[in-house]
């Protein structure tokens, strides 16, 4: 058992015997279906804390011919698959944690030479006379070993973890990037000794013009996970099972950590956050301060191509359509709003709906990170909009319409660009953003069908909240009184007949000519 060659199964043993282990071994069956075929090159990208390394360790434990892993897998999903025994512990595995190798190399320019030297050194211990002291090319050594192997159908399986760290840690060193991509191309392309290559990281394969040389890899990413969608994180059923075991409220788990949507898996949860919540017996943000948080703060401080307005809309609970096609799969080549929002999808800060090509803030935990980044960023207008939210909610609850109108007017001026200001959607976004702290106590429903029409915005109290419901009707160049009258005349309140508590009717009007807001608030009891 080595560090790079056949690392064994100890790392996966730790995961299986941990306090919480969720079986994702079905991924192995998919990998087996690609073994030894032309489509045997897989690049699986996920955000931090989404179980990438555990999956890599699982594959190592399953394929590594230097150990016996049957007892680890015999009670897992993969054991029921026809391919289970056929490939179990049958291959030489070369496992490369690129993050660790980059650190031990010392300099980014030395990375590829360091990888070759480290792996060849271990191969020499295993194969002795077949590798000479002058051998420095890893691909040449592996080709020779494969030809000499008494089991020629065995070959090598490659597992690369944090494959993309070079693009994140040295984003401006394009020479090193190209050298690294050339190394990977030489290692994998047209090499029959490769029975399977599985790369995992945060970013999909880097695009570099002629250096898009890794197009042999099929990509499974946060924008297009394909058949691997259910392995991105925990599924709804898996989270429900954990909540039942640990006597935790599933509704709160859903609010805090659900929100990632894929065509083949509609409810995916952040796995590490779910595990931490169960073991800590509380729901809160477990997002750690990493390079991805720094990227979030840096990029939302930019205002290219209407990014600021998109952030406002997203925090307000809206969605934004984007084109992911121009993204270059790195953290430095972002030239448009869509590039930055696509990057935030890969970092896990936004969810992507493949059906509508739109992004949105997935859950409470991520929303908290956005707010934290905004508070610590360089966008004073967004900081101010968030800071007034608590005061605005208090003014609404005490039915102080004049203060509410004044604060919304201030937020409208601060947060909305001039070319978007006189727009009904802008007013809706301002309202939702201005009440951003409502998320602690309210569920937001937009365009609620009720009576003879659709109510604009309903803030419905969560079960644990003692606050009243708030039904908000927006008007444009009319009056706040007219907004209240519409709520009553069109019987919007009927939608809350089963609520059985206080409800505030909030009418807000914006005068396009004067740019003044007015607000009227009435209380009703159901």
Query: How far, CA to CA in Å, does 425 sit from each of 198, 303, 412, 429, 490?
Result: 45, 20, 12, 6, 22
Of residues 333 and 291, more confidently modeled: 333
Is the pLDDT reported for residue 174 higher than 70? Answer: yes
pLDDT tens-digit map of 85-128: 999 999 999 999 999 999 999 999 999 999 999 999 999 988 88
Highest mean pLDDT among 32-36, 104-108, 169-173, 484-488: 32-36
Is the pLDDT reported for residue 292 higher than 70? Answer: no
CA 492 to chain centre: 37
Integer Cα distance of 47 and 38 in angstroms: 27
Answer whether 348's CB lies under 8 Å from 270's CB: yes
Integer Cα distance of 152 and 286 in angstroms: 47
Q: Which of 416, 392, 342 is nearest to 508 (CA)?
A: 392
Confidence of residue 294 (pLDDT cuts 50, 70, 90): low
Tokens of 210: 């002629």
Using CB atoms within 10 Å of the CB of residue 445, give its burial: 0 to 12 exposed, 13 to 18 middle, 19+ buried: middle
The count of residues in the chain is 526
Q: Tell me the mean pLDDT in the region 358-379.
A: 80
The pLDDT mean for the chain works out to: 86
To the nearest whole percent, how much of the chain has pLDDT over 70?
87
Question: Would you state the pLDDT for residue 505?
Answer: 94
Phi-psi label, residue 242: left if phi above 0, alpha if psi -120 to 50, beta otherwise: alpha
Question: Would you state the pLDDT for residue 299?
Answer: 72
Query: How far, CA to CA in Å, does 17 sit from each of 57, 71, 374?
Result: 14, 12, 40
Answer whether 486's CB lies under 8 Å from 478's CB: no
SS3 (DSSP) at 239: helix
Question: Would you state the pLDDT for residue 149?
Answer: 75
**Sign of the dihedral defined by the CA atoms of residues 298, 302, 308, 313, in that order:** negative
pLDDT tens-digit map of 190-216: 999 999 999 999 988 866 555 456 889
Q: Tell me the mean pLDDT in the region 287-296.
A: 59
pTM for the full predicted model = 0.82
Which position has the token pair 């010392």? Answer: 106
pLDDT tens-digit map of 383-435: 666 667 778 888 999 999 999 998 888 777 665 554 444 556 667 777 776 77
Is the pLDDT reported for residue 238 higher than 90? Answer: yes
pLDDT tens-digit map of 497-513: 777 788 999 999 988 88
Confidence of residue 56 (pLDDT cuts 50, 70, 90): very high
CA dihedral of 328, 334, 337, 341, whole degrees rounded to 10: 60
Integer Cα distance of 148 and 153 in angstroms: 12
Domains of the chain listed by start with CATH number: 10-220 (3.40.50), 231-280 (no CATH), 291-378 (1.10.10), 382-525 (3.40.1350)
At what angle are helices 111-127 and 174-188 packed, to 10 degrees?
30
Phi-psi label, residue 475: left if phi above 0, alpha if psi -120 to 50, beta otherwise: beta
Q: Tell me the mean pLDDT in the region 311-332.
A: 80
b/e sequence 364-403, b meaning 16+ C-beta within 10 Å: bbbbebbbbbbeebebeebbebbebbeebbebbeeebbeb
Using CB atoms within 10 Å of the CB of residue 125, give its burial: 0 to 12 exposed, 13 to 18 middle, 19+ buried: exposed
CA dihedral of 396, 398, 401, 405, whole degrees rounded to 10: -40
């Amino acid at each position: 058992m080595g560090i790079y060659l056949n690392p064994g199964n100890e790392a996966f043993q730790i995961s299986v015997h941990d306090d919480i282990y969720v079986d994702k071994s079905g991924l192995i069956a998919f990998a087996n279906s690609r073994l030894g075929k032309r489509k045997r090159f897989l690049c699986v990208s996920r955000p931090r804390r989404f179980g990438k390394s555990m999956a890599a360790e699982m594959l190592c434990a399953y394929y590594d011919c230097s150990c016996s892993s049957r007892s680890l897998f015999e009670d897992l999903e993969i054991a029921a698959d026809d391919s289970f025994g056929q490939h179990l512990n049958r291959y030489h595995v070369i496992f490369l944690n690129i993050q660790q190798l980059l650190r031990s190399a010392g300099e980014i320019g030395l990375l590829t030479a360091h990888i070759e030297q480290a792996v060849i050194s271990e191969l020499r211990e295993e194969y002795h006379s077949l590798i000479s002291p002058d051998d420095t090319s890893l691909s040449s050594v592996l080709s020779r070993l494969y030809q000499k192997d008494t089991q020629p159908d065995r070959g090598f399986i490659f597992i690369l973890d944090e494959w993309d760290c070079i693009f994140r840690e040295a984003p401006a060193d394009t020479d090193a990037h190209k050298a690294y991509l050339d190394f990977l191309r030489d290692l994998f392309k047209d090499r029959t000794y490769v029975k399977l290559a599985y790369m995992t990281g945060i970013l999909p394969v880097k695009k570099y013009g002629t250096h898009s040389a890794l197009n042999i890899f099929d990509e499974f990413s946060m924008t297009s996970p394909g058949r691997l969608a259910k392995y991105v994180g925990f599924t709804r059923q898996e989270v429900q099972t954990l909540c039942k075991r640990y006597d935790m409220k599933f509704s709160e788990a859903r609010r805090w950590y659900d929100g990632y949507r894929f065509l083949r898996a509609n409810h995916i949860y952040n796995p590490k956050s779910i595990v931490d919540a169960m073991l800590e017996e509380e729901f809160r943000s477990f997002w750690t301060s990493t390079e991805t948080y720094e990227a979030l703060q840096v990029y939302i401080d930019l205002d290219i191509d209407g990014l600021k307005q998109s952030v406002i809309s997203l925090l307000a609970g809206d969605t934004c359509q984007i084109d992911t096609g121009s993204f270059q799969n790195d953290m430095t080549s972002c030239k448009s709003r869509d590039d930055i929002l696509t990057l935030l999808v890969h970092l896990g800060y936004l969810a992507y709906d493949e059906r509508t090509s739109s992004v949105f803030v997935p859950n409470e935990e991520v929303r908290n990170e956005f707010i934290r980044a905004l508070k610590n960023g360089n966008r004073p207008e967004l900081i101010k909009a968030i800071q007034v939210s608590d005061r605005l909610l208090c003014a609404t609850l005490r039915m102080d319409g004049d203060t509410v109108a004044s604060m919304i007017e201030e937020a409208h001026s601060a947060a909305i660009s001039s070319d978007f200001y006189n727009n009904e959607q802008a007013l809706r976004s301002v309202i939702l953003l201005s009440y951003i702290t409502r998320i602690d106590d309210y569920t937001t429903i937009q365009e609620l069908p009720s009576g003879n029409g659709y109510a604009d915005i309903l803030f419905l109290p969560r079960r644990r909240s003692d606050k009243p419901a708030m039904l908000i009707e927006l008007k444009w160049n009319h009056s706040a009184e007219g907004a209240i009258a519409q709520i009553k005349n069109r019987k919007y309140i009927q939608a809350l007949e089963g609520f059985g508590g206080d409800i505030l009717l909030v009418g807000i009007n914006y005068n396009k000519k004067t740019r003044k807001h007015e607000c009227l608030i009435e209380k009703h009891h159901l």
